[in-house]
Amino acid sequence: MARETDFDPRRPLVSSQTPARAEAIHRDGDAAACNDRDPPTPFDRLLRAGLARYTLGLSPAALGLAYADWAIHLAASPGKRAELAEKGFRKFIRFVAYAASSAGRPDAEACIAPLPQDRRFDSELWRQPPFNLFHQAFLLQQQWWHSATTGVSGVSAHHEQLTTFMARQALDTMSPVNFVPTNPEVLAATFAEGGLNLARGALNFWQDWERALGEKPPLGAERFRPGKEVAVTPGEVIFRNHLIELIQYAPVNAKVAAEPVLIAPAWIMKYYILDLSPQNSLVKYLVDHGHTVFMISWRNPGAEDRDIGMDDYLRLGLLEALKAVNAIVPDAPVNAVGYCLGGTLLSIAAAYLAREGLRAFNTITLLAAQTDFTEAGELSLLIDESQLSFLEDIMWNQGFLDARQMAGTFQLLRSGDLIWSRMVHEYLMGQRPPMSDLMAWNADATRMPYRMHSEYLRRLFLDNDLFEGRYPVDGRPVSLGDIQAPVFVVATESDHVAPWRSVYKIHLIESIDITFVLTSGGHNAGIVSEPGHHGRRLRVGRRAAHTRFSGPDEWLARAEVAQGSWWPRWLEWLEGRSRGQVAAPGLGCPDRGYAPLAPAPGTYVLQA
């Protein structure tokens, strides 16, 4: 490896396109050019993009292939079919026996219990006839279909998961919870309120429908405006290009840590997830504790940005921001932080700079960010060649992937929580939860450029090029094993976007010193975990470089549970790797081309 030197902000950065890639793009004008395959014809793409409007963006071919794989192998498995018939008969006998015993004894033991995470039938009202029969029949049917769609010899693992997913979606649609006559909680509320709950629910539905048609944010989101109620930590935009604004936050102390903090959030959402209200702002927490903080605020791309790729996000985004930080705070390696996609991009940048022998980072912090995508959670159900080709046709037609399309995909993956449970509570029970800063931020999504999203899904999700050493930067592959800076990794227990066991796989890179934190909560709420937040807990462990690997389950069994937020642990970790304190730098550096341009939160965060 090249001799390590300090990062020089005047040094030319990685080019946006390799010559071969630029020539292919110029010739074909298509993201498929970088994948060494012939692009589909415009007619085929228009046809599939039109079809996507009626399929929620899901590829019928992908679903059909999964179903055909399952159905053909099941048809060729008479033993499995006989086993399913026997299971069905036994479940029927159990159900009849339960129905008979519960008729004379309401406290009769149920013949099947819901899964631990299934809270739909927790109310005692579901123990009363006939609702006890409704929910027991549903759970037995759900269990039988799980048996039917799993364990069929010869079916690929991906097709089995997708078939099981489709069966679960169909069953959840018909759950007795979703209908007034079969839901005792809704019926009790209706009788108690004289139907006012249904009237409120109808009004809620009408408001949501009207806002969806008008592409308006959810009701109440207007109370959380960036720069007014959220994203209010004082600072200045000190750099702007086509892709980012870089915010430097004003110090509150005369002395600050010698090493500045540069945060690269995900560009799938606005940056202020890390600067919400003052009481739960990670940015404010860092500034108050004596850190110089810089934040990347990503542009919300439009159709004109269709050919912006992953290397542009690296060059125009993180590396240009790093140049600015080094100009304003010279001679100090950076404490770099990456959240979700921003963490993956930070890993690529760190590997690239290490390959070039440049010492840019003092520490690296990855928040709910994956580097290995072989077990990337529920989203991987919808990532295969057929689905990606279908998605690329949608983005080719639009120039981007719309935020509503992405939101629909995530809602489908968690339909129990995000679709059906919401429908019951808001439209049948008439109970709308109050809007919060986190909920308002979640509705403030951004678009994904066509080329970037295609490259991201193919190179990382589908092919796992980064972790396996094939991801190219500046025409040559980078290796995560070249990273020398210590890494602080935060994963969350119930993360459906970046499952913690997937995040944990960074431990397979033996050359990195890793401090790993597993905290309670999900992908967003687990990260926004300020001190004093009720019910937060965490586990912490460290694995020094070049020491024995422990699997995630072994680590989990050994790690002790502590109560509280991970933020103080991280702050202590940063302080333990600091050279001490220095005088706080000014906002920007006009002499080096980084004059303040506008007050925080800037303009890009306000783009709709």
β-pairing, 293-298 vs 261-264, is parallel
Backbone phi, psi, residue 416, to 5°? -60, -40
Q: Which has the closest alpha carbon to 501: 388, 409, 372?
A: 372
Euclidean distance between CA atoms 34 and 450, whole angstroms: 13
Question: Which single residue is written with the structure tokens 């053909």?
Answer: 72
Indicate which residue of 34, 111, 340, 589 is catalytic: 340
Look up 340 and say whether it is catalytic. yes
CB atoms within 10 A of CB 325: 26
Euclidean distance between CA atoms 412 and 414, whole angstroms: 5
Backbone phi, psi, residue 149, to 5°? -95, 0
Residues with Cβ within 8 Å of 529's Cβ and at least 6 positions away in sequence, in order, are: 519, 520, 521, 536, 565, 566, 567
Euclidean distance between CA atoms 583 and 216, whole angstroms: 45
Residues with Cβ within 8 Å of 452's Cβ and at least 6 positions away in sequence, in order, are: 308, 309, 310, 312, 313
β-pairing, 537-543 vs 561-563, is antiparallel
Rg (CA), the chain: 26
One-letter-per-residue 3-state SS of 105-132: CCCCCCCCCCCCCCCCCCCHHHHCCCHH
Backbone phi, psi, residue 242, to 5°? -65, -20
Backbone phi, psi, residue 130, to 5°? -90, 5
Indicate which residues carry an active-site annotation: 340
